[in-house]
Amino acid sequence: MKPALPLLATATIATLLLAGCGDGDKKPQAGGPGGGMPPPEVDVVTVTPGNATLTQDLPGRLLAVRSAQVRARVEGVLEKRLFAEGSDVKAGTPLFQIDPRTYQAAAAGAEADLAAAKATFERYKPLLEIKAVSQQEYDGALARYKQAEAQLSRARLDLENAVPRAPIAGRAGRALVTEGALVGKGEATHLVTVEQLDPIRVEFTRTYSDLLHLQQAVKAGKQKKADAARVQLVLEDGSIYAEPGQVQFADLAVDPNSGSVVLRAEFPNPRRELLPGTFVRVRFPQAEVDNALRVPQRAVQGGPTGQLVMIVDAEGKVAARPVKTSAMSGADFIVSDGLKGGEQVIVNGLQKARPGTPVKAVPWNPAAPVIAAPPQGGMGGAAPPAAPAKPAEPAAAAKPAEKK
């Protein structure tokens, strides 16, 4: 018979078994160590009063700074094209060859006529001095000589025009006629267009009422006039063109149909990235204001009652704040009511920001790419789940003490 376990050891093993069973039935508390999801991260900007330039995006269209239509100035059959379509050409570059044989023959005949007229004139000149010819005959020989010179100049010009050249330096477009076509018959046939693309021009309009309001605000001292000579170009995808532009022209008359004033600006285009005909927006500086509150445009939402932004309050929770915007400063809104300064406005992560929910505020980096929201049911920004606890090994069953 084996000796019985001590009574104290038996009681200790039973207590451990009961404690283990009790801990296994309990669930981990949310947010506690090893369980739950941490607050999602949101990108925020801290609203700070400062100087701002009020801007206005005005619609415009890109145009070539110079555009020349190359036309056939003489009649003939087009023999060949001498340039590559879409290539850059210099001023005076030959572009086409029109059959020159007719004009070569005309130039040769004009040269012969000129030689005959010149010989007659030079023969009459000494005869006039000895009165062997009359003054009338001498004057007639001189007139025929001058006329022959003019005919030769015209024949040489026609021969030169048989090779149409680029009138300006620029990019030659597609040829509008092909080899073998008869050109210049009754009209100056349009052969190709050469456009100068560097710099490139943009024409845009500005309403006269906006101009008057700005002048009144400047006179009242509410705003300071901005340097409107330098403008920015907003492309179709919303990006800003790297090179700033310069306003070159402002019309002195208001269009009676639209009530707008036409303006013109030029932008450097060394890489030929901008092409004529493209619709763009010109970011036009209007005025300078002090102590302005700026928030990114993407942070302002539209609701049934108006505009609002989401902020992170002192407790780290999301709260909705109604605001009113008055103008634009680049890609930012100028907030006229609803913010006082110092608020943390949420820019990215609005899909995770529900009013009253705790979040973790992270400073916004405008250059960082925007990360799409995770699908419903995903982990989002939460830490990976903790590894499941290793199950405890079953303890040996206590044997009842044998009676002696």
pLDDT value at residue 22: 45
In terms of Cα–Cα distance, which of 183, 190, 193, 200 is closest to 86? Answer: 193
Domain span at 128: 100-161
- Give the predicted TM-score (pTM) of the model: 0.63
* CATH number of 153's domain: 1.10.287.470
Residues 249 and 278 in one domain: yes
For residues 268 and 307, state if they share a domain. Answer: no
The answer on 284 and 328 residing in a single domain is no
Distance of alpha carbon 141 from its chain centroid, rounded? Answer: 69
Closest among 372, 304, 319 to 44, alpha carbons compared: 319
**Apex CA 358: angle with CA 356 and CA 364, to 5°?**
110
131 lies in the same domain as 272: no
DSSP reduced 3-state for 350? helix
Paired sense of beta strands 76-81 and 182-183, if any = antiparallel
Which contiguous run of DSSP H or E holds residue 126? Answer: helix 101-129
Q: Domain check: are 233 and 283 in the same one?
A: yes
Shared domain check, 202 and 265:
yes
- Measured distance CA(151)–CA(158) in Å, rounded: 11
Give the number of domains in the chain.
3
Q: How far apart are CA 350 and CA 252, in angstroms?
A: 47
CB-based contact 174:202 (threshold 8 Å): no
Regarding whether 201 and 274 lie in a shared domain, the answer is yes
Q: What is the pLDDT of residue 196?
A: 93
- Residue 85, pLDDT score: 93
Residue 320: inside a domain, yes or no?
yes
Residue 404 lies in a domain: no
For residue 190, the tally of other CB atoms under 10 A from its CB is 13
Angle between helix axes 135-161 and 101-129 (nearest 10 degrees) is 160
Tokens of 328: 């634009």
**258 and 206 inside one domain:** yes
> Do 299 and 334 fall into the same domain?
yes
Q: How far is CA 280 from the centre of its chain?
A: 7
**Shared-domain flag, residues 247 and 307:** no
Interatomic CA distance for residues 106 and 151, integer angstroms: 9
One-character DSSP codes across 82-110: -S-TT-EE-TT-B-EEE--HHHHHHHHHH
* 332 domain-assigned: yes
Q: Find the CATH number of the domain harbouring 355.
A: 2.40.420.20
Residue 137 within any structural domain of the chain: yes
Does 111 map to a domain? yes
Q: Is the peptide bond before 199 cis (omega within 30 degrees of 0)?
A: yes
Last residue of a domain, one of 230, 263, 288: 288
**CA-based angle 390:394:400, to the nearest 5?**
160
Question: Residue 70 and residue 326: Cα distance in Å, rounded?
Answer: 50
**297 and 275 housed in the same domain:** no
d(Cα 80, Cα 99) in Å, to the nearest integer?
9
Mean pLDDT by 10 residues, the chain (404 residues): 43 44 45 62 89 86 93 94 93 95 95 94 89 90 94 95 94 94 92 94 83 68 65 87 87 80 90 90 84 88 85 88 86 87 87 85 75 40 39 41 41
Backbone phi and psi for residue 322, each to the nearest 5 degrees, phi listed first: -65, 140
Residue 244 belongs to some domain of the structure? yes
Query: What CATH number corresponds to the domain at position 228?
Result: 2.40.30.170
Can you state the percent helix, strand and coil of the chain, rounding each to 5?
25, 35, 40
Residue ending a domain, among 161, 177, 212, is: 161
Q: Classify residue 373: in a domain, yes or no.
A: no
Does residue 369 lie in a domain region? no
User: Do 264 and 342 reside in the same domain of the chain?
Assistant: no
Q: Which two tokens stand for residue 343?
A: 């608020």
What is the secondary structure of 132-176 as a DSSP string?
SS-HHHHHHHHHHHHHHHHHHHHHHHHHHHTS-B-SSSEEE---S
DSSP 250-306: E-SS--TTT-EEEEEEEE--TT--S-TT-EEEEEEEEEEEEEEEEEEGGG-EEETTE
